[in-house]
Amino acid sequence: MSDQPRHLPDRPSLRYLKIEAKRRLSAGEFTTLHEAQLAIAREHGLPSWTALKERIEAENPASHALTQVRWVMSRFAAAGTPRWTPPDEEELRRHFDDRYLSLVPPDWVTGLFSTVAERLREGLADVQAEPLYLRARIADLRIEAATEAEPPHRLSSLQMYPAREVGADVPKPPTSD
């Protein structure tokens, strides 16, 4: 455990701190995850993990885009299973603005997200969320989303495309024989 208090960065990541706590637990520094989380909270000058979590959530404004993408993920993750029923047009209109649905008809929206249902069951990663914009990765897909500026903050843009690894488009150097 560090003797020096640490300051939270400008954009603290609870996900990173959770991974740090698990890393320190697996390294044998602590005997329980709770102890590791408590130590990290105290290192940042807070009395508990809950206080640390609340501080981070307060410093990171709510992302309407993240909320809507999470709805898409939860609503379509079960697509193709026997008990799943697709959303009707009215439900889609509560989450997608009229312009988006004029460009991508509701039956296409349902079909598109149904084809990636298995990937939607995985968690979001590499999340960069702002109040009205989101860029993230889920499974092997890159997601970019934007919402309306005014409530109810429906999705005005949602794109999914294959994620490429950094440097994947860089050709390999020639080998000498």
3 lies in some domain: no
* HSE value, Cβ hemisphere, 13 Å, CA-based, for 100: 20
Residue 80 pLDDT > 60: yes
- Residues 143 and 116 placed together within one structural domain of the fold: yes
Considering the domain architecture, whether residues 154 and 79 belong to the same structural domain is answered as yes
pLDDT, tens digit, 9 for 90 and up, residues 113-137: 999 999 999 888 888 888 899 999 9
Give just the sign of the alpha carbon dihedral 74, 79, 83, 86: positive
Whose CA is closest to 24, among 8, 10, 45, 41?
41
Identify the band that residue 25 occupies on the pLDDT scale cut at 50, 70 and 90. Answer: very high
Is 146 within 8 Å of 99 (Cβ atoms)? no
Residues 19 and 91 in one domain: no
Residues 31 and 72 in one domain: no
Domain final residue pick, 59, 87, 113: 59
Provide the domain count of the chain.
2
* 122 and 52 belong to one structural domain: no
Tell whether 79 is covered by a domain.
yes
Give me 177's structure tokens: 């024989």
Same domain, 111 and 158: yes
Banded pLDDT at 23 (limits 50, 70, 90): very high
Is residue 171 assigned to a domain? no
Q: Which one has a higher pLDDT value, 42 or 2?
A: 42
Same domain, 88 and 139: yes
Same domain? For 87 and 127 the reply is yes
155-170 per-position pLDDT tens digit = 999 999 998 764 445 4
Q: What is the mean pLDDT of residues 63-86?
A: 93
Tell me: do 114 and 37 sit in the same domain: no
- For residues 35 and 69, state if they share a domain: no
Query: Hey, how many other C-beta atoms are within 10 angstroms of the C-beta on 96?
Result: 24
The model's pLDDT over 148-157, given as tens digits with 9 standing for 90+, comes to 999 899 999 9
CATH classification of the domain holding 83? 3.10.450
Q: Are residues 68 and 54 in the same domain?
A: no
> Residue 87: inside a domain, yes or no?
yes
What is the domain extent for residue 53?
Answer: 14-59
* Residue 26, in any domain of the structure: yes
Q: Verify that 38 and 102 share a domain, yes or no.
A: no
Tell whether 78 is covered by a domain. Answer: yes
